[in-house]
Amino acid sequence: MSAAAADAATPALLSVEAVSAGYGGATVIDGVSLAISQGEILTVLGKNGMGKTTLMKTIMGFVKAQAGRITLAGEEVTRRPPHAMARAGVAYAPQEFTIFQDLTVEENLRVGVPDDRTFAERVDSLADVFPRMLERLKQRAGTLSGGEQKMLIMSRAVLAQPRLMLIDEISEGLQPTMIDRMAEVLRATRERNGTAVLLVEQHLSFALSVADRFAVLKLGQIVEQGPAGDPGAASVLVHHLKV
């Protein structure tokens, strides 16, 4: 789906309306509003400590929203717990503590698939995405290399066949060929399942190569939004990420 297809006429799959959230008395994101349509990839960029991960956690239900409203396919989900969000079709790939180290690769994948009956079929589909994961199914996940662990995280999210994926800095620490592979997988998942993606990133070129739109989060607020394909997008973003 192109950016043009994700215009205001398309009903939003995820809608975040004036949401504020934080920890204890501190507000980390302040009045954030954004919307993602089915099949759209939105990247949220920003420097460290600007609230990107808190935004993800608030959508997912790990952090309670202090104000505002979140809807998924028109249904209010602002107070839903994380497991209910996952069951509603939201796959979350967090930045830290992302795999079960002592479970096998297969068990890590199985945890993310709600229906055991379709698991074998879904795992077979990894042959097109990350064939190396099929060779590692019986291996303990904690013994995988860093790149393989990222493959596992992405595989688990893809296998869930979600309506929406929340991906937090998947490119961090990856070599360029692996980053390209991640971009291909995101595009393919969007094309095949119509999955929408909220991609939090600091890797500018990767983010712009896959996203339809971008938003910049600075000190907990969205300060810039626009189509990722705009010729001037990169320079605008470089400015925001440097300042």
Partner 1 sequence: MANLALDMITTSAILFVVASGLMIILGVMKLINFAHGAFLTLGGYAAYLTTEAGLSPWLAPLLAGAVGFGVGIVVERVIVRPLYHRPLDAILATWGLGIIIGQLITIGFGREVQFAASPMTGTLDLGGIEYSAYRLTLTAVALAIGGALTALLYLTRFGLNARAVIMNETLARGLGIDSARVRLLTFGLGAGLACGAGALITPLLSVDPNMGLPWLVNSFMLVLVSGVSIPSLALASLILGSAQVAVSSYISPIIGGLTIVVLAAVLLRLYPKGLGRGT
- Chain residues that interact with partner 1, rule: CB under 8 A: 60, 62, 81-83, 86-87, 92, 94, 97-103, 107, 110-112, 114, 116, 156, 160
Of 1, 60, 59, the residue nearest 35 (C-alpha): 59
Distance, CA of 164 to CA of 8 (rounded, Å): 18
In this complex, which beta carbon is closest to partner 1, that of residue 200 or of residue 208?
A: 200
Q: Which is nearer to partner 1, 6 or 60 (CB)?
A: 60
Copy the structure tokens of residue 93.
Answer: 């790939």
Name the residue nearer to partner 1 (CB basis): 113 or 234: 113
Least distance from partner 1 to the Cβ atom of residue 180, Å: 27
**Whether the Cβ atoms of residue 226 and residue 211 lie closer than 8 Å to each other:** no
| Amino acid letter for position 85 | M
Looking at beta carbons only, is 144 or 160 nearer to partner 1? 160
Q: Which is nearer to partner 1, 33 or 100 (CB)?
A: 100
Q: Where are the beta strands (DSSP E) in the chain?
A: 12-23, 26-37, 41-45, 65-72, 75-76, 90-93, 164-168, 196-201, 213-218, 221-227
Read off the DSSP letter of residue 63: S
Least Å from the CB of residue 242 to partner 1: 32
| Minimum distance of partner 1 from residue 185's CB (angstroms) | 18
Helix (H, G, I), strand (E, B) or coil at 227: strand
Which distant-in-sequence residues (6+ apart) come within 8 Å of 161 by Cβ?
Answer: 122, 193, 195
Instruction: Tell me whether residue 47 or residue 110 sits nearer to partner 1 (CB atom).
Output: 110
Identity at 51, one-letter amino acid code: G
In angstroms, what is the minimal distance from the CB of 233 to partner 1? Answer: 31
Q: Minimal distance in Å, beta carbon 2 to partner 1?
A: 30
Q: Write down the least CB distance from residue 119 to partner 1, Å.
A: 10
Token pair in block for residue 45 = 């960029």
Query: Residue 122 and residue 110: Cα distance in Å, rounded?
Result: 10
